[in-house]
Amino acid sequence: MMPTILARDIGFSYETSSVLRSLSLAVAPGEVAVVTGASGVGKTTLLTLCGALRSLQHGELRVLGRDLKGLGIAQQCEIRSLIGFIFQSHNLIDALTARQNVMMSVLGHAQLELSGRQAADQLVTLGLAAKVDAFPEDLSGGEKQRVAVARALIRKPRLILADEPTASLDDLSAGLVKEAIATAARTTSCAALVVTHDPRLFEIADRVLRLENGNLSEA
């Protein structure tokens, strides 16, 4: 079976420094790979490359069976629509309720036929039963982050790319997020690449990788 992420000898440099050097990685469907490492070593760069949010400079990177090198905007959009992104900042739209923010994730995905009820169910799973129709201004930071997680998971992605998804959460909330990611991986064969410093996430990891000197090693 083709890995969800297959990186071979990928390299990436910023103007002044090289962050990824001949990095190779394979993440199988249903696998949760957690990447840790010191700040500034290139963890986020790796995520943005895998999410087709940044152009590859060197090497070969295949995500969901597609070679990301030289993709046009339309193809990038197509790949991104299969990925569940969990960003460090929640970026919820203020004018929409938690439910509507989650539903925005599937706008245009007619095959999913998502209903408001399903969005609410996803929020309930993440412990937000009482906040389904609350606006972001009425949510705490942790609650907003959980809405953002629900937004990523509701579309039943084939790949989850998460950057510090539990950074601002208490143990209870972190546990719910952890469980949601693990469940998605188990039940839908969704692969997950999670970048974090939070050891609580190691519990759901099939592999914990350390990014150091531009390359990955088993932690």
Partner 1 sequence: MSALIPVAFLQLRKQPRRLLIAVAGIAMSSLGILCQMGFEDSLFRSATRLYQEFDAELVVLSPQYQFMVLPAQFTQRRLYQALAVPGVESFSTLRLGIAPFKNPTTRINRNVYVVGVSGSADAFTNPEWEAQRRSLKAPDEVLFDARSRPEFGDLVALFRAGAVQTEIADRRVSIRGLFEMGASFSADGTAITTDEGFARLFPQRNSQLVDLGLIHLRANADVRQILAKLQATLPRDVVVMTHDQLNEREQTYWRGTTPAGFIFKTILGICLVVGCVSVYQILSSDVAENLAQYATLKALGYRDRYFLALTFEKAWLLTSIAYPVGFVLSAIVYVGATHLTLVPLVMTSARVIGVYAIILTAACIAGAIAVNPLRRSDLSELF
Asked if 103 is part of the footprint of partner 1 (rule: CB under 8 A), the reply reads yes
Pair 197, 33: CB distance under 8 Å: no
Q: Please, what is the minimum distance in Å from the beta carbon of residue 195 to partner 1?
A: 8
Q: What string of DSSP letters covers 153-209?
A: HTT--SEEEEESTTTT--HHHHHHHHHHHHHHHHHH--EEEEE-S-GGGGGG-SEEE
Pair 124, 147: CB distance under 8 Å: no
Report 114-133 residues binding partner 1 (CB under 8 A). 114-116, 119
- The interface mask with partner 1, positions 55-94, x = CB under 8 A, is ------------------xx--xx-xx---x-xxx-xxxx
Asked if 105 is part of the footprint of partner 1 (rule: CB under 8 A), the reply reads yes
Report 4-23 residues binding partner 1 (CB under 8 A). none
Contact stretch for partner 1 (CB under 8 A) within 3-11, 60-68, 103-111, 208-216: 103-111
* Residue in this structure with the two tokens 């509701």, named with its chain if needed: 154
Per-residue tokens: 186: 């188990």
Nearer of residues 47 and 169 to partner 1, judged by Cβ:
47
Nearer of residues 66 and 175 to partner 1, judged by Cβ:
66
* Interstrand relation of 207-212 and 215-218 (parallel, antiparallel or unpaired): antiparallel
